[in-house]
Structure 1
Amino acid sequence: MQNSHDTMTRDPLASPNADLAQERAPEIVEALNAQEPPDAAKLLQSLPAEKAIEVLDLPGLDNTCEILAELPTDTAVSLLSGVSDDRAADIFKELIEPLRTTLLNRLNPDTRTTISALLAYPERSAGSIMTTEFVSVPSTWTIAEVLHHIRMVERTRETVYSIFVIDPVKKTLIQAVPLRRLISADPHANVLTAAPARKPLMIAPEADRMEAARLISRYDLLAVAVVDGPGHILGIVTVDDVIDAIVEESTEDAQKFGGMEAIDEPYLRIGFGEMIKKRAGWLCALFLSEMLTATAMQSYQTELEKAIVLTLFIPLIMSSGGNSGSQATSLLIRSLALHEVRLRDWWRVAMRELPTGIVLGSILGVIGIVRITLWQTLGLFDYGPHWQLVALTVGAALVGIVTFGSLSGSMLPFILKRIGFDPASASAPFVATLVDVTGLVIYFGVAALILRGTLL
């Protein structure tokens, strides 16, 4: 956690000679992000060591690895030794060899061991974002002893939101005591007298980091303990770590919804080649799948030649089905992520989306019929002598296509999750492509039934 200053916030970019040391850490980060790595490294090195560590501890600093590479090795090691262990682990994940090994080996043994342990946890796990800088005390201490201990170690701990009480023999977690309970309790009483009646919430280090986020959100926590099998506390996940994880997950999901691979750099910082690489694959896949639309239209070439008026409504039909599918996909991806629904609930979702799709399709179908009727009766366009049947075809097709779009859009995330893929990959463009092809089949199938013997 970063300490704020009482000075007025000024724009560090207003002058190249601005005294960055007097600015708040986030403003300094903004200034460094506007510089190339060599210049940013010079600015960082010019700051007091405490301020430089505070800046490096913020996840919003771009090109952290490039900046460290520009610093003298001794300076880089000193700064990394001062930042929180979880932040240092994040930085080491991005460092490339041989710099990574060089800096890691130069750290003191305790710090190196802690960071190496954090690096061993799977990416996106609770263990990968936990901090080992927490306050723990034995259950035999009095509240006065605990408060004295907090005053002694506060500057070396990332947070003192909660104090974790440990069994002095088994070294297992017994309780988590909020700091405010300690402040208001009898200083001569045992620390456990200030503990809540309920057991502390805990999470395994291998659990998904979003599970930690759900616990913190559901129970209004500031930190949740990470424990191993026997119950030894390994670290804690704090609310600010969870916020960073949620922002990262949301950014990646938004990019996947757009039909591209997630990027982990700011837009203006990512290289041109990397941008093409991230976007071209999905774009080509979507383009190839859209070719099925042309194949479907070729199959109905005879019908189109007989009733050219049907082509006027193809964009309307395709967009409506794609939109309904995208809506359902977005809702279900989010619900699965928040554990509001689980894989076993697929049939409940299907039974909910079926009538929803029928009603939504009926609404659009009525609007389509009214539109054709108005244009025909007002003389804005002539749909031919069988315009009533054309209107009925469009209306009925919209009911079928929107219903199919809602069902397929809601089921695709379940299918992807069941086979082990990220449900966010069921992006809106992918669903739209699927519904486009099937929508044409439904449209011309309905037309063949209604218009047979007249236009067809």
Structure 2
Amino acid sequence: MNQKQMLRPATDAATTAAPLANFNTADAVEYLNTLPIAAAVDLLAALPLPRAVKLLEAPELQRAGELVATLPPARAAALLGLMADDRATDIVHELDQDERARLVPLIGAEARQVIQTLLSYPPDTAGALMTTEFVSVPANWTVGQTLQHIREVERTRETVYAIYVLDPASGQLRQVVTMRRLITGLPDESILDVAQVNAPVTVDVAMDQEEVAQLIRRHDLLAIPVVDAGMQMLGIVTVDDILDALIEESTEDAHKFGGMEALEKPYMQIGFLEMLRKRGGWLSVLFLGEMLTASAMQHYEDELARAVVLTLFIPLIMSSGGNSGSQATSLLIRSLALRELRLRDWWKVALRELPTGIVLGTILGSLAMVRIVIWQLGGLHDYGEHWLLLALTVAAALVGIVTFGSLSGSMLPFALKRLGFDPASASAPFVATLVDVTGLVIYFSIAASILHGTLL
């Protein structure tokens, strides 16, 4: 017990736990999330172990690692030992090295061994997500024996909706039986008689969690077995665990796509300095990129001096290219994440985005020409005697820049994935910065060709 806990006044456990008496688990978790850390720890310490375990197992509980680390070590170890293996592993993963060294040895031997095994698997893989608490029975059992076994172990298993049938001699996975098939079978029937006909769908411990999610979705499963090369059952990944993992990954991708590092905590729990660190780095990189835009404009300083009217359309040109690039990037990142596309499909995407960019650029270029014509003929602005050539320049530039934006925005996620980076790192601000610089070059190059001998 640390010094803060020793100084904390002793209170009656029932009184401390009273605020949660009429709350279900979801409401209790929401209430705990609103409390200061010390008050939340007091509540968890006062609750009966089964109730405290349910709250800690809820993925929606914030600061779970901090709560466990602040609890008295014996209480924290007892809770971790009673929790579902995968959730306990997640919480231990949040602890720093000193806290792990203090708490893990206090956990029961069996639970400790499982947690240490799960911690050894790389993050975002089936091994890191799986739980070892599943129902398995020998292939020579009957339906009645299996149902009796489920009654005995139900409270200690993550799910009982799928029963895994193992070879009694080798322990290899032979079949899977759903609860629906089981309860409709006769007690004396063999468990294999009510098992599914097709071979069980399995995954390897190293499979990426997104691929696991695709298999669960494709085969409409509530859980999928994780096996080794010899078809020995190592654990299962349940649909709720994969959903939680994908939601977390989607949140990280959303942060990256906004041009910042992913936040590991809710917004209001991020400290001021940490928030600066998460956002400042990417902003600095983007700022340095935008400095290239200033350099490009300096390069065309003479052209700008002779045809100041060109500057009126620079924001229009730059934003259109950035928008088209951001659109393409958003589409491709999502398609890659859903496995709708593979790296080898890059050329198909390029062939699709090229005409798409040309048509989109033509649409925007036509709108720009109409705008210039209306403003000129309506007396809203005088673009000079060569206003038709100016309109043609802006239209042609938009075709080129939107086409380039679509192509570069669609190819960047492929390039990042090929180099081993997360495609979500191709953030909208990053793509916009890239297109800004090249857009200016395209704009002034086209202007120099069309306006040569007139404005330039």
Q: Same fold (TM over 0.5)?
A: yes
1:206-225 correspondence to structure 2 within 5 Å: 206-225=206-225
Residue equivalent to 2:64: 64
Distance 2:382 2:451 in 1: 17
For residues 130-176 of structure 1, give each alpha carbon's deviation from its aligned partner in whole angstroms, at most 9, with x where no partner exists: 11111001110011111111111000001012001111111111111
Counterpart code for 1:110: E
Distance 2:238 2:68 in 1: 26
Q: Secondary structure at the match of 1:23?
A: coil
Does residue 451 (structure 1) correspond to residue 451 (structure 2)? The answer is yes
For residues 279-328 of structure 1, give each alpha carbon's deviation from its aligned partner in whole angstroms, at most 9, with x where no partner exists: 11111000001100001011111111111111011001000000110111
Q: Secondary structure at the match of 1:22?
A: coil
Residue equivalent to 1:9: none
Question: Does the CA contact (< 8 Å) of 1:21 and 1:51 recur in 2?
Answer: no
1:78-117 correspondence to structure 2 within 5 Å: 78-117=78-117
Counterpart code for 1:223: A
Q: Secondary structure at the match of 1:240?
A: helix
Distance 1:437 1:25 in 2: 53
For residues 227-275 of structure 1, give each alpha carbon's deviation from its aligned partner in whole angstroms, at most 9, with x where no partner exists: 1111111000001001101110110000000111111100000111111
For residues 85-142 of structure 1, give each alpha carbon's deviation from its aligned partner in whole angstroms, at most 9, with x where no partner exists: 0000001111123321222111111111111100000011111011111100111001
Residue equivalent to 1:136: 136
Identity %: 61
Distance 2:234 2:344 in 1: 33
Residue equivalent to 1:404: 404
Counterpart code for 1:317: I
Distance 1:248 1:113 in 2: 27
Question: Does the CA contact (< 8 Å) of 1:171 and 1:232 recur in 2?
Answer: yes
1:45-444 correspondence to structure 2 within 5 Å: 45-444=45-444
230-239 or 65-74: bigger deviation: 65-74
Distance 1:82 1:378 in 2: 78
Question: Does the CA contact (< 8 Å) of 2:81 and 2:112 recur in 1?
Answer: no
CA displacement at 1:207 relative to structure 2:
0.9
4+ residue runs over 4 A deviation: none
Distance 1:392 1:181 in 2: 70
Question: Does the CA contact (< 8 Å) of 2:321 and 2:405 recur in 1?
Answer: yes
Distance 1:365 1:265 in 2: 44
Question: Does the CA contact (< 8 Å) of 1:397 and 1:443 recur in 2?
Answer: yes
Question: Does the CA contact (< 8 Å) of 2:105 and 2:112 recur in 1?
Answer: yes
Counterpart code for 1:328: A
Q: Secondary structure at the match of 2:155?
A: helix
Distance 1:195 1:170 in 2: 19
Residue equivalent to 2:4: none
Q: Secondary structure at the match of 1:234?
A: strand
Give unpaired runs (5+ residues) of structure 2. Answer: 1-15
Question: Does the CA contact (< 8 Å) of 2:224 and 2:238 recur in 1?
Answer: yes
Residue equivalent to 2:13: none
Distance 1:414 1:197 in 2: 40
Give unpaired runs (5+ residues) of structure 1. Answer: 1-15
1:36-51 correspondence to structure 2 within 5 Å: 36-51=36-51
Question: Does the CA contact (< 8 Å) of 1:49 and 1:79 recur in 2?
Answer: yes
Distance 2:180 2:90 in 1: 31
Question: Does the CA contact (< 8 Å) of 2:104 and 2:112 recur in 1?
Answer: yes
Question: Does the CA contact (< 8 Å) of 2:17 and 2:43 recur in 1?
Answer: no
Distance 1:68 1:345 in 2: 47
Q: Secondary structure at the match of 1:199?
A: coil
Q: Secondary structure at the match of 1:19?
A: helix
Distance 1:21 1:403 in 2: 62
Question: Does the CA contact (< 8 Å) of 1:361 and 1:401 recur in 2?
Answer: yes
TM-score by length of 1: 0.95
Question: Does the CA contact (< 8 Å) of 1:163 and 1:178 recur in 2?
Answer: yes
Report the count of equivalent residues.
441
CA displacement at 1:339 relative to structure 2:
1.2
442-451 or 41-50: bigger deviation: 41-50
CA displacement at 1:18 relative to structure 2:
5.9
Question: Does the CA contact (< 8 Å) of 2:17 and 2:46 recur in 1?
Answer: no
Counterpart code for 2:251: T
Distance 1:67 1:224 in 2: 31
CA displacement at 1:348 relative to structure 2:
0.5
Question: Does the CA contact (< 8 Å) of 2:53 and 2:82 recur in 1?
Answer: yes
C-alpha spacing 1:17/1:241, structure 2 compared with 1 (3 Å): closer
TM-score by length of 2: 0.95
Question: Does the CA contact (< 8 Å) of 1:393 and 1:450 recur in 2?
Answer: yes
Residue equivalent to 1:11: none
CA displacement at 1:351 relative to structure 2:
0.3
Question: Does the CA contact (< 8 Å) of 1:318 and 1:439 recur in 2?
Answer: yes
CA displacement at 1:17 relative to structure 2:
8.6
CA displacement at 1:48 relative to structure 2:
2.2
Question: Does the CA contact (< 8 Å) of 1:21 and 1:47 recur in 2?
Answer: no
C-alpha spacing 1:198/1:17, structure 2 compared with 1 (3 Å): closer
Distance 1:393 1:70 in 2: 66
CA displacement at 1:186 relative to structure 2:
2.1
Distance 1:50 1:421 in 2: 42
Distance 1:326 1:206 in 2: 33
248-257 or 185-194: bigger deviation: 185-194
Counterpart code for 1:106: L
Question: Does the CA contact (< 8 Å) of 1:21 and 1:48 recur in 2?
Answer: no
Distance 2:289 2:97 in 1: 40
